Amino acid sequence: MNAYETDEEKVEAIKGWWKENGISVVGGLAIGLAAVFGWRAWVDHQEGMAQQASSAFEQLVATVETGNAEAARTQAALLLEKHGDSAYGALANLMLARVELDAKQPAAARKALEQAMAKAPDQGLARVAALRLARLLMAQGEMDAAAALIAQQDKGEAFKGDFAALRGDLALAAGRAAEARAAYDEAIALGAANAALLQLKVENLPPAT
């Protein structure tokens, strides 16, 4: 605003400015406040949902440990219904697969692992599900399907050693001892889980020629 000589002129200038701009200022403030409070409400909702999912998963784990398969299936279904697209949904499917394997239901376990892979919100959980599914396929004699799954999922550095161990198992099952040895050695070097077991497998292979 320009310089004004008297207080009355300043007041009149302010009134005039407010008349022209007051509505837009109030509207802007209202939109800003709505955005702030809307964002806060969304964050609170997300945190509440995460807490609910965490609590439901803890209950599921405790139920699985009791060996009550039916109760575990019911709890897993409820968790998946409400939080199926979250990390807890993928974890619930991993637990459900364990329940089904213990109950000698490999088809149901396979379905749970496939859902865990498809719904996992990050690649780490998807890789864990893929590793378990590959082992299940091998146990069922579906070697080609297991090999295809390993080739599809063995990307990046995470779990590379564990995938190498599975390739060793596939080679061993096919009687390719040299290939199995190379895969097991790679798995051990990459820090795969159960390195001691892998070393034992290497020692039990026919001598290299």
Q: What confidence tens digit (pLDDT) does each residue in 17-75 have?
A: 556 665 565 556 656 655 555 545 544 445 555 677 888 889 989 999 999 999 999 99
> Which tokens belong to 184?
């097991």
Degrees, nearest 5: CA angle 14-16-19: 110
Write down the mean pLDDT value for the chain. Answer: 83
The pTM assigned to this predicted structure is 0.74
CB 164 within 8 A of CB 190: yes
Percentage of the chain surpassing pLDDT 70? 75
Nearest to 159 by CA among 188, 192, 137: 192
For 74-172, list the strands marked E by DSSP. none
Mean pLDDT of 168-188: 95
* CATH entry, 27-121, from 2.20.28, 3.10.530, 1.25.40, 1.10.357: 1.25.40
> Which tokens belong to 147?
């090999």
pLDDT score, position 45: 43
> Which tokens belong to 18?
């407010």
pLDDT over 70 at 204, yes or no:
yes
pLDDT score, position 206: 86
Q: Where in the chain are the domains?
A: 27-121, 147-209
pLDDT tier at 174 (50, 70, 90 boundaries)? Answer: very high
**Rounded Cα gap, residues 92 and 4, in angstroms:** 71
- Which of 12-21, 81-90, 146-155, 193-202 comes out lowest in average pLDDT? 12-21
Give one word for 205, left, alpha or beta, with left for phi > 0 and alpha for psi -120 to 50.
beta
